[in-house]
Chain A
Amino acid sequence: MHTHRTSAEATGHDHSHSSAAEDGTTEVVYGFPARLWRALERHKPPGMDLLQRWRSPLRGPWLTSVFGSVLLVSLPVVILTGLLSYIAYGPQFGEAIPGDVGWLKLPTFDWPTRPSWLYRLTQGVHVGLGLIIIPVVLAKLWSVIPRLFAWPPLRSIAQLLERLSLLMLVGGILFELATGLLNIQYDYIFGFSFYTAHYYGAWIFIAGFVIHVLIKLPKMVTSLRSQSFRTVLRTSRADTRPEPPDVDGLVAADPAPPTMSRRGALALVGGGALFVAVLTAGQTLGGFSRRAAFLLPRGRNRGTGPDDFQVNRTAAAAAITPADTGADWRLHVRGPSGQMLLSRAALEAMPQHTAELPIACVEGWSTTQTWSGVRLRDLADLVGLSNPARATVRSLERRGAFNHAVLQANQVCNPDSLLALRVNGVDLSFDHGYPARIIVPALPGVHNTKWVRSIEFGHR
């Protein structure tokens, strides 16, 4: 009986409101089992009315769609640069974390070494844009909060599935933002592996994001067309009116007088994004702007000396002792057909090459310095390999996930790929990897192994 009436209603609805029907679940009709959804609607919990007294005159599909469209453009960029970072770590050598991710990665390719600022750019964008959109994400969540308490919560199976998928969307984005924010500040209070959680969390978010976009895109376009952006920008607070009532209940039934114009709200959110940009971009851009990132670890200056740039992992933390790196230190170079031990003096006697290269970390910060030392391909020549396909670099550091790194052919053979002995005209400092460290163009920071003990070149 109920079902029959429902389908009749649905058909009638389809004809009279064809645009509403495109929105799928938003019509006031009941899917199967209609009896259950109706019963749910009748049994409104006490206090629910109180929760539905939204007063903001600014909330509405247009405002939500403006925030949504900003995120629709920016989030794919954040997602893509994040997935590229995984490739930059070299999953084909087992160097990326988490190790085996099945099909959950971009097709693997050899990460380029040109331009040398490639990783600085992709990871700077990943972290920087991820930070900048935080005010927009919060504004978007604020703008749709009436939906959370809408009653009845469900009218069909479609709505049930859709609302469940919001768990992936909302949980995913805030999980990614929270873990990312903690990681760039070296706060590992969450206890689990950042790389693993952030990577799989991203895929949960991608699932939620894609389905949300597919379901809501038509509504977003319709809502954006409901008002002209220009008109909104010309409307003062006094002339600000609520949007017309909508099926989703975003528009308040009993709105309070506006305390802010809609353009004011947009300026507030945009200003928030700009505020975050000013406070964070300096860690990537460096130079004078670094001072503006004064609340971030990498916004701080260490001094004015030639080796007073940002340190990632101190010698003390890596348990490197002066005895390890003293006069007895030798670099062990190995190839398929030979090996040799080189003292620092022997390395200094080889042809020296100088290159200006950035160190760019997964945390989004970077710093460009002038490095000099021996070309990696010259070292390969020493052990009789003119075209090495790869090199495995090991550090004096005994423990730590990054005490070794595998470099692929283009990373070994690039003329700017160095075993650096000096930086900015002085010997490397202890914290920067004395007696010798790797520096390779566009390689993620942690793979530029410090305190190098051995390099093994291989055919394959």
Chain B
Amino acid sequence: MRRLITRFAAFYGSNPLHLLGTVAAWALAGYAVIVLGPHALWNSKVWWQSIAVWFLAAVIGHDLVLFPLYALADRSLTAALAAMRNRRAGPSPRVSPLNYLRVPTLAAGLSLLLFFPGIIQQGKATYSAATGQSQEPFFGRWLLLVAALYGFSALAYATRLAVAGRSRKSIDNQLDTDAHDTNGEI
């Protein structure tokens, strides 16, 4: 029996449970499609308003759309900061601004991603039918949020720089004293 399982694993690439589980999962998904009715997956009038199209878009939505965008943005930011550091003659800043830019940008991006229908006023008619209000305030509110995010980050960075400056100064003083002591000994 053990030999049989080993041979199966060599042929299939994993243990028999793996095969059973995967087949069961696909059967369940297949059943869901059958109950829905395969015709319901496709909208022949407006192709992009099909469940199938949205599902496939969801499959690639992060890996092939969102990820390249934010990865490119992050690499550009990192490269730009490095270039600035190299070009500047004087000492580089004691604290890298990288994460103080990343965090508010990510938060702004996330809030835009989650709340874009209101921000760009998409679905006006259904929105006002449901709520009796308009989507007008959202864009301004989001801009305020962005302002607050970057503002707080700037404040945090300034504080961090100040703290780093003070501790650098005390380290420098300490080093001076150490050097003095050493000189004295010699």
Contacts and interface: CB of A to CB of B under 8 A. Distances in A.
Given A174-B61, A188-B126, A268-B106, A295 B25 contact: no
Contacts of B56: 171
Interface string A164-208: 110110111111001101100111111110001100110110111
B14 A158 contact: yes
Given A31-B11, A268-B103, A276-B114, A197 B54 contact: yes
Interface in A96-123: 98, 100-104
Interface in A220-242: none
B94 interface: no
Nearest to B63: A148
A259 B98 contact: yes
B83 interface: no
B49 interface: yes
A297 interface: yes
A215 B21 CA distance: 9
B130 interface: yes
B110 A170 contact: no
Contact of A203 (B32, B46, B59): B32
Contacts of B33: 200, 204
A7 B36 CA distance: 43
Contacts, number: 241
Contacts of A187: 117, 122-123, 126-127
B106 A170 contact: no
Interface stretch (A135-143, A247-255, A332-340, A386-394): A135-143
A296 B59 CA distance: 26
Interface in B63-119: 63, 66-67, 78, 96, 98-99, 103, 106-107, 110-111, 114-115, 117-119
B40 interface: yes
Contact of B28 (A32, A203, A271, A294): A203
Nearest to B9: A10
B141 A294 contact: yes
Nearest to A141: B62
A459 to B, nearest CB: 32
A298 to B, nearest CB: 8
B29 interface: yes
B168 interface: no
A24 to B, nearest CB: 4
Nearest to A182: B117
B97 to A, nearest CB: 11
Given A158-B14, A192-B49, A279-B111, A317 B130 contact: yes
Given A156-B13, A186-B127, A272-B110, A314 B132 contact: yes
Interface string B13-29: 11101110111111011
A295 B126 contact: no
Interface string B156-168: 0000000000000
B177 interface: no
A6 B36 contact: no
A25 interface: yes
Contacts of B127: 185-187, 297
A11 interface: yes
B19 A211 contact: no
Nearest to A293: B115
A295 to B, nearest CB: 4
Contact of B107 (A101, A275, A316): A275
Contacts of A347: none
B131 A297 contact: yes
B134 to A, nearest CB: 10
The 3 closest A-B pairs by CB, nearest first: A156-B13, A191-B49, A31-B13
Given A29-B10, A189-B117, 17 more contacts: A24-B13, A31-B12, A138-B66, A157-B11, A158-B18, A161-B19, A161-B23, A175-B58, A178-B58, A179-B54, A181-B117, A186-B130, A191-B46, A203-B28, A204-B32, A259-B96, A275-B111
Interface of A: 6-7, 10-11, 14, 24-25, 29-32, 98, 100-104, 131, 134-135, 138, 141-142, 145, 148, 155-159, 161-162, 164-165, 167-168, 170-175, 178-179, 181-182, 185-192, 196-197, 200-201, 203-204, 206-208, 210-211, 214-215, 259-260, 264, 268, 271-272, 275-276, 279, 294-298, 300, 302, 310-314, 316-317, 431
19 contacts: A100-B35, A101-B35, A156-B14, A157-B12, A174-B59, A178-B58, A178-B61, A182-B123, A185-B123, A186-B127, A187-B127, A189-B123, A192-B49, A207-B28, A211-B25, A214-B21, A259-B96, A260-B99, A300-B131
